[in-house]
A and B are shown apart, each in its own frame.
Chain A
Amino acid sequence: MTVPVLQTRGLSLAYDKRTVVDDLNLSIEAGTVTTFVGPNGCGKSTILKALGRILHPAAGEVLLEGTPLPQLSTREVARRLAILPQSPVAPSGTSVRDLVMRGRNPHQSWARPWSKEDAQAAHEALERTGLADLADRDIATLSGGQRQRAWIALVVAQAAPTLLLDEPTTYLDLAHQLDVLRLVRQLNREQGTTAVMVLHDISLAARYSDRLVAVRDGRVVADGTPQEVLTADVVARTFDLHVRIVPDPVTGTPLVVPEEPALTGS
């Protein structure tokens, strides 16, 4: 069996002594798209931060390709793993291109401050996110959706084989949500990128993920393929919500439909 890209062993996470996640054991296999779903405050973003070494575990450890994270320099981690936190803020005066170029930081050094390869990666990231025409615009003048895509371009330019995305579709309209998820799928198919996401739209998560992990109160409620995880029972236990699961008429993946009558007049 191959070494998982990311693995947690007895991982406990806490903010100021308040335990959010307790004794989590989870493996992320190379070349897969995994999505955490769950109610607000269930700990899914916290788990993602720990996987991306932004949050230090209260107990247990995270292994990146078999090596415990503290044994790797933060630059080395950044070359293997890119993480996009939730709603980052860029200082005003930053152009889209400036922002995307910062994604090359872990590949740069004193001896090699900026190479053709860096320029190429930044350029490709701009193209892939449809931002080539906006490259010289100040981030502050962009719409919320364009801004979010600029941040996604930053992690794409980082060109790490593993991508952690915390709610990458926030602020995006449906068309741009699909663009982002399609981009993740393409990177996964073309370059074998491993992706781990946190998403709120469960049905879209089912469409674009190989694996869903349903989380509630810091515990895994269900873990498996979208078909396995998205049952009325699991959704009820995760979200306290009565739903009906129907096959997506387009893709056949599970579609979550709330069992609630429309409240508008007919």
Chain B
Amino acid sequence: MSVANPPVQTEQQTTGPEPGVRVGPIGLAWRPRVLAMTVVALVVAVVVAVLALGLGSAHLSPLDVLRTLAGHGEGAQEFIIMDVRLPRVLVALLVGVALSVAGALTQTFARNPLATPDILGVTSGASLGAVTVIAAAGGTSLAPVVANLGVPAAATAGALVAAALVFALGWRGGLQSYRVVLVGIGITAVLDALTSYQLVRAKVTIATAASQWLVGSLSGVSWQSVWPLLVVVVLAVPLALACSRSVAAAQLGDEVAWGIGVHVTRLGVAVGLLAVVLSAGAVAAAGPVGFVAFVVPQIAVRIAGTSRPPLLLSALLGAALVTGADLLGRILLPNEVPVGIITTIVGAPYLIWLLVRHSRELAS
């Protein structure tokens, strides 16, 4: 029985069963548009990956690429693809997934598109940790061990410290997200200054290598960079998906979220830790590839037409974007352009646009 007077209106009237397709135990009521876009993003990511494996100083056809991947390649092709390009493409895909999922989680939880690991200083913390270890061990016999274990560990430690600082300084009986963003921008500046100091003190050869890495670069990536990042992504992404319903609830505001049974404090810690681990993993492998965590979820929201970035769609778009940006950087100019430069050129204008719009909203 309807209690309210039936609204007299001529606006859009659609009733009917819940529109959506349910997939697996993830419990998302998939809207057809989200599902379609996710499939498209998957196809784009695969196509970009195959192109990236084939294009470069030695051009290989997609067919050759697929044949080599299936284990039927010839000597030279097999070396180029399996030893040189495949690890690079895998790292690009995984970095895109890790950063985009981290960004989508934090943007949704904080209800603020500016609240991402790259803007809040988490990736800067990871960079500082990694550069410190690189500078300390560079040129010593410890270098190979450090590259495998020390850099990811130091990046994670640095990211954790940065995140803890942002939380501690931004916390005032709650996380008003604008305060957190301002604190994060401040923390980023301090951490970047400390990183520069490390570079100035280091030997020229090490400083050059580190600064190449600091803009976000995939050149020289080998299988050793793939494994830690793969482990991080395989563990953290399913956990992120498991949190997605609660994160969606938190998007309605802390009070409503508590009311519908979400422990907002614990969820905040979980989201923070996932974002830290994912960004640290990405930074350790490829350096701080700029603006991916910030921009990709926003693209995902717009093409999906939802109230929050769908995690899988963000992950696939991020994978396609980073791989595509790296490919462009490799083949566009005679000298290789690091992937971080390309993503920053795409992302920075969007940040400026968003800040301008935000300050207009605040002013009015």
Contact surface of A with B, Cβ cutoff 8 Å: 15-16, 49, 52-54, 73-79, 82-85, 88-94, 97-99, 101-103, 105-106, 108, 110-111, 113-114, 119, 127-137, 146, 149, 154-155, 158, 175-176, 179, 182-183, 186
Structural contact, A130 and B307, CB atoms closer than 8 A:
no
Q: Does B185 contact A (CB under 8 A)?
A: no
Structural contact, A78 and B3, CB atoms closer than 8 A:
no
Q: Does B335 contact A (CB under 8 A)?
A: no
Structural contact, A54 and B301, CB atoms closer than 8 A:
no
Closest residue of A by beta carbon distance from B305: A93
Residues of B within 8 A of A89 (CB): 252-253
Structural contact, B18 and A97, CB atoms closer than 8 A:
yes
Structural contact, A54 and B259, CB atoms closer than 8 A:
yes
Q: Does B27 contact A (CB under 8 A)?
A: yes
- Other-chain residue from B18, B111, B249 in contact with A102 (beta carbon distance below 8 A): B249
Interface residues of B, dominant DSSP: loop
| A75-B261, A105-B249, A110-B27 known; A98+B14 contact, CB < 8 A | no
Residues of B within 8 A of A183 (CB): 3-4
| A54-B255, A93-B301, A97-B18 known; A103+B260 contact, CB < 8 A | yes
Structural contact, A91 and B111, CB atoms closer than 8 A:
yes
Residues of A within 8 A of B305 (CB): 93
- Other-chain residue from A94, A103, A129, A133 in contact with B307 (beta carbon distance below 8 A): A94
Residues of B within 8 A of A186 (CB): 3
Q: Does B349 contact A (CB under 8 A)?
A: no
Residues of B within 8 A of A127 (CB): 1-2
| A110-B242, A127-B2 known; A85+B256 contact, CB < 8 A | yes
Q: Tell me the bound Cα distance from A84 to B29 in angstroms.
A: 24
Closest residue of B by beta carbon distance from A140: B307
Interfacial residues of chain B within 283-306, with CB under 8 A of chain A in the complex: 301, 305-306
Closest residue of A by beta carbon distance from B304: A93
Residues of A within 8 A of B173 (CB): 15-16
| A78-B259, A88-B255, A89-B253 known; A114+B22 contact, CB < 8 A | yes
Structural contact, A130 and B12, CB atoms closer than 8 A:
no
Residues of B within 8 A of A92 (CB): 307
Kindly provide the distance from the CB of B106 to the nearest chain A CB, expressed in whole angstroms.
15
- Other-chain residue from B9, B258, B308 in contact with A53 (beta carbon distance below 8 A): B258
Point out which of A16, A91, A134, A155 has the most chain B C-beta atoms below 10 A from its C-beta. Answer: A91
Structural contact, A85 and B15, CB atoms closer than 8 A:
no
Residues of A within 8 A of B301 (CB): 93
| A83-B259, A84-B259, A183-B3 known; A136+B29 contact, CB < 8 A | no
Closest residue of A by beta carbon distance from B24: A113
Interfacial residues of chain B within 97-126, with CB under 8 A of chain A in the complex: 111
Encoded as 1 (CB less than 8 Å from any A CB) or 0, chain B from 31 to 70 comes to 0000000000000000000000000000000000000000
Closest residue of B by beta carbon distance from A110: B25
Residues of B within 8 A of A131 (CB): 4
| A49-B255, A79-B261, A110-B25 known; A130+B2 contact, CB < 8 A | yes
Kindly provide the distance from the CB of B68 to the nearest chain A CB, expressed in whole angstroms.
40
Structural contact, A114 and B6, CB atoms closer than 8 A:
no
Residues of B within 8 A of A176 (CB): 4
20 further interface pairs, Cβ-Cβ under 8 Å (given A91-B307, A135-B15): A74-B263, A76-B261, A83-B255, A83-B259, A88-B253, A88-B256, A91-B252, A102-B249, A105-B262, A113-B22, A114-B27, A128-B2, A129-B4, A130-B3, A132-B2, A133-B6, A133-B7, A135-B14, A136-B19, A158-B259
A-B contact pairs, 8 of them (CB 8 A): A15-B173, A78-B259, A91-B251, A102-B248, A133-B6, A134-B7, A154-B256, A179-B3
Closest residue of A by beta carbon distance from B251: A91
- Other-chain residue from A82, A93, A101 in contact with B259 (beta carbon distance below 8 A): A82
Q: Tell me the bound Cα distance from A183 to B252 in angstroms.
A: 24
Structural contact, B255 and A105, CB atoms closer than 8 A:
no
Q: Tell me the bound Cα distance from A101 to B246 in angstroms.
A: 13
Q: Does B141 contact A (CB under 8 A)?
A: no
Closest 4 CB pairs of A and B: A113-B27, A130-B4, A78-B261, A106-B261
Closest residue of A by beta carbon distance from B12: A137
Residues of A within 8 A of B18 (CB): 97, 119
Encoded as 1 (CB less than 8 Å from any A CB) or 0, chain B from 82 to 96 comes to 000000000000000
Structural contact, A77 and B261, CB atoms closer than 8 A:
yes
Q: Tell me the bound Cα distance from A91 to B259 in angstroms.
A: 17
Interfacial residues of chain B within 218-265, with CB under 8 A of chain A in the complex: 242, 245-246, 248-249, 251-256, 258-263
Closest residue of B by beta carbon distance from A119: B18
Q: Tell me the bound Cα distance from A94 to B255 in angstroms.
A: 18
| A108-B245, A114-B22, A179-B4 known; A74+B262 contact, CB < 8 A | yes
Residues of B within 8 A of A52 (CB): 258-259
Structural contact, B252 and A90, CB atoms closer than 8 A:
yes
Kindly provide the distance from the CB of B255 to the nearest chain A CB, expressed in whole angstroms.
4
Closest residue of A by beta carbon distance from B242: A110
Q: Does B13 contact A (CB under 8 A)?
A: yes
